[in-house]
Amino acid sequence: MKQLTRMLLLGLALGLVMSPVIARDFEEGVNYERIEPQPPVGKPGDKIEVLEFFMWLCPHCYRLEPHMQAWLKHKADDIEFIQVPAMFGGPANLHVKVFYALQAMGELDRVHEAFFKEIHEKRNRLRDQDAVEAFLREQGVDIDKFRQAMNSFAVAAHANRAAALLRRYGIRGVPALVVDGRYKSGKGLDYKDMPVLVDYLAERVRTERQKNSE
């Protein structure tokens, strides 16, 4: 009997560990907002675009980053995740161009986390281009190519689009998430809640698309 009890308890413990996490309830108008006007409903199977507006200077974005990176490892295949650097003036505007210059060079994935750590762990705010270049030189980035990218039309176009997206979705603070151009994150969210909210809203989008196709 004791052996059976131990086995039952072990089975219960394993079940608790292995069972999927139940998503918390999210309240519209509080935890997330509907974006108006709503864009056209897509078709079932279309990609669901998820935008994360962030700043390297933002401590909340820094703390959210590991949660989003963990989520990316198992996100649904129909979700396309895109980070958008926010232009809120000062060094943040410089960092937007740095972000897209590094992306154009194929260096962004390698340097992205180090950029966060330089600012929030080493307290180096990277406020001007000289400071940014000194840091990137330490990371092994080709500074001549970096300068060329910073001055390119493509980087300017990406920066302008990032600013336009910020205005279109009425983003006034970061981090902020926009799902399918239809919903954006709101208040009362912990860092661990935000990727769960993405999955919750993505499922709403799938349901809306399915109903629209019937």
**71-111: per-residue pLDDT in tens?**
999 999 999 999 999 999 999 999 999 999 999 999 999 99
* Among the listed residues 91, 94, 95, 74, the one whose alpha carbon sits nearest the alpha carbon of residue 83: 95
2 inside domain? no
- For 17-41, b/e burial (b = at least 16 CB within 10 A) is eeeeeeeeebeeeebbbebeeeeeb
Q: Is 94 helix (H, G, I), strand (E, B) or coil?
A: helix
106 inside domain? yes
Give the pLDDT confidence score for residue 25 in this predicted structure.
85
Note the pTM of the prediction, 2 decimals: 0.87
Domain that holds residue 202: 29-213
4 inside domain? no
Would you say residue 8 has pLDDT above 70? no
The CATH number covering residue 201 comes to 3.40.30.10
184 inside domain? yes
Q: Give the C-alpha separation, 190 to 188, whole Å.
A: 7
How many domains does one find in the chain?
1
Would you say residue 1 has pLDDT above 60? no
